[in-house]
Amino acid sequence: MDYSPESRPVLVAVANPQHAEQLVRTASDLARLLESHVTIVSVAVKPSSSPFSVYKDETIVERFAQDTQELLDAAIAVAPEDVPIEREIVVGRTIADGVLKAIRRTNARALVIGWHDSRSRTDAILGTNLDQLIENAQCDLYVERIGYEANGVDSILVPVAGGPHVRPATLVAKAIAARNDATVHFLSVVEPDVDVDAARDHLEAGVQLLEDAPDSPFGPDIRVETAVRTGEDVPVTIAELAPDHDVIVFGVTRQGSIQRRLVGSIPQRVIPRIDETVILARSGAVVSPSRLEKFRGFWRRG
């Protein structure tokens, strides 16, 4: 593995030691496949209105981040031994601000972060910090639902319908399959009046992306199966098939409104119906500076 200072790490943001193992495991799977390393990041929040705002970031890390240090120690303790691990405390006005700083500083290849499927704000899709990261993180982003861990992984389901996020979804599916000797199932669901040729094209594209991804460090090729299913309601059909698998990986977005761009209408309807491990994948390629500025301009005009 490339552990040189020039290598681009897989970041994993942790905020609770109880969830660290789940997230570090996924980040390590990705790093293993990418021949990279993992940087575990925790954020010391310094709101602008806080008395701590008078201190330099270095002082906050040295004098007031003992709890954060202990959190990182706990995350390191559950990390696999075959993947190089770094740790870092960053100071930010919010958690999202701190994580974005870490992404820029390390030129990260990917970020893994957890998500609870409860919403504290009606105008936030996955939560304010996650929404900001989905919108702004200029690297591949993986959002894993916390608290729904598979007891062993034999089968990974990847629903596909084209778009830029199939690539990172396929990458993490291959990374998890490689560690567990599991099968990756590509699924395309079409409504009854839709031509299935497009669905087959999506499946073929998914398989090709998996084959183009780096080879598994464990040697054997990844087993792949494909299927087209017809259903009046696509999310309901996916939810009905989900219990046959251990992990479900979604690309996060479809075309449409701003909310769909951030998360995707199908994952939003499927996830509340299932109990399996869920990972949302969003490509870093869609968050170029020019696209971000365009998005902000649209938002201001709105």
Rounded to whole angstroms, the maximal C-alpha distance in the chain is: 64
Residue 152's pLDDT band, with cuts at 50, 70 and 90, is: confident
Residue 150's pLDDT band, with cuts at 50, 70 and 90, is: confident
Residue 295's pLDDT band, with cuts at 50, 70 and 90, is: very low
**How confident is the model over 5-9, as a mean pLDDT?**
74
Instruction: Please state, in angstroms and rounded to a whole number, the distance separating the CA atoms of residues 18 and 94.
Output: 21
Q: What is the pLDDT of residues 244-266, one digit of tens each?
A: 999 999 987 544 444 444 556 77
Higher pLDDT, 135 or 158: 158
Give pTM, 2 decimals: 0.85
Higher pLDDT, 198 or 111: 111
Q: What is the pLDDT of residues 215-241, one digit of tens each?
A: 877 766 899 999 999 988 888 999 999
Instruction: Please state, in angstroms and rounded to a whole number, the distance separating the CA atoms of residues 99 and 127.
Output: 15
Q: Confirm if 111 and 238 have CB atoms less than 8 A apart.
A: no
| Residue 202 predicted with pLDDT over 60 | yes
For residue 85, the cross-strand partners are 38
Best CA proximity match to 7, nearest among 29, 38, 51: 38
Question: Highest mean pLDDT range out of 52-66, 111-125, 142-156?
Answer: 142-156
Q: What percent of the chain stands above pLDDT 90? A: 47
Q: Work out the burial of residue 17: count CB atoms within 10 Å of its CB; fewer than 13 is exposed, 13-18 middle, 19 or more buried.
A: middle
What pLDDT, on a 0 to 100 scale, did the predictor assign at position 291? 52
Instruction: Please state, in angstroms and rounded to a whole number, the distance separating the CA atoms of residues 56 and 212.
Output: 45
Q: Confirm if 99 and 13 have CB atoms less than 8 A apart.
A: yes
Residue 280's pLDDT band, with cuts at 50, 70 and 90, is: very high
**How confident is the model over 20-26, as a mean pLDDT?**
92
**CA 265 to chain CA mean position, Å:** 17
What pLDDT, on a 0 to 100 scale, did the predictor assign at position 219? 66
Residue 298's pLDDT band, with cuts at 50, 70 and 90, is: very low
| Residue 172 predicted with pLDDT over 90 | yes
Backbone CA torsion sign across 106, 107, 110, 116 = positive
Q: Which residue has the tokens 């990705």?
A: 30
Residue 6's pLDDT band, with cuts at 50, 70 and 90, is: low
For residue 279, the cross-strand partners are 144, 249
What pLDDT, on a 0 to 100 scale, did the predictor assign at position 167? 95
Q: What is the pLDDT of residues 71-126, one digit of tens each?
A: 888 888 888 889 999 988 888 889 999 999 999 999 999 999 998 876 444 455 67
What pLDDT, on a 0 to 100 scale, did the predictor assign at position 251? 86
* CA distances to 27, 43, 162, 172, 177 from 30, in Å: 5, 22, 22, 6, 11
Q: What does the mean pLDDT of the chain come to?
A: 83
User: Which strand ranges, in their side-by-side order, compose the sheet holding 110-115?
Assistant: 85-92, 38-45, 10-13, 110-115, 140-145, 277-282, 247-251, 155-159, 183-190, 223-230
